[in-house]
Amino acid sequence: MAFVTLCPQCQTGFSVLPEHFSTADGWVRCGQCAHVFQLDQHLFEMDDPRPAPELVQPLSRPVALVDIHPSQPAEPWGWAWTCVVLLSLCFLLQWAVQQRHAIAGRVPETQALMQWLCQPFACEVHLPMDPDQVSLESTSFKKRAANDFVFEGVVKNLGDSVLTPPALELSLSTESHVVVRKVITAHELGLTEPLRPRGSHAFFFSFKVDPSLSPTIDGFKALLFYP
């Protein structure tokens, strides 16, 4: 003889085991609708050990009242939300990798994180290089000795991001004709640190010129650029 109870709320049938009578004084919670009811008030016997399918669909055992957090089956939409979150993270990662230089410039503290994100993609991270945001100011070109010259000035960062120091092209002229052209790296200029936002960075560079050209030099032109 088998015992079956019906939930008075949703009319779902449950098979009953002997231990259900002693648990929580016979009070149970429906695993389908969470309604609480007393087991023996809705009990009946069946000759077939298994309740009829129409009474027990979906079939589950009653949950004792002491179990106040019964496990629930995963909702189908839960997978959809998981996919949405994963896709959003993928797009965010792609955007961060594409904008890694700008992000590192705006927030220098994230440069190590950007480098870590780049490892799977074999990419590099450097501070932004924007020639439109660097300005050459207070330049001075002097002759120190027969063939020795000094060029000094200030490189100013006009933007709000930390920038990579630029290189400089210096052209020396005689009667408006270029006779010497030199490319000077940021390291040679003494610009070894990143350019601070809105900051001014002084430089000093000394060099020699061919003795045959030195007496004729009467002008110069300087241009900042990124190699």
Question: So where are the chain's domains?
Answer: 2-64, 78-121, 131-225
This prediction has a pTM of: 0.52
Given strand 27-29, what is the order of strands in its sheet? 36-38, 27-29, 63-64
Number of other residues whose CB lies within 10 A of the CB of residue 147 = 15
pLDDT 10s digits, 174-202:
888 999 999 999 999 999 999 999 999 99
pLDDT 10s digits, 1-56:
567 777 888 877 777 776 666 666 677 777 778 777 776 776 666 665 554 444 33
**What's the rounded Cα separation, in Å, for the pair 28 and 3?**
15
pLDDT 10s digits, 140-173:
999 888 889 999 999 999 998 899 999 999 999 9
Which CATH superfamily is 131-225 part of? Lipoprotein YajI-like (2.60.40.1620)
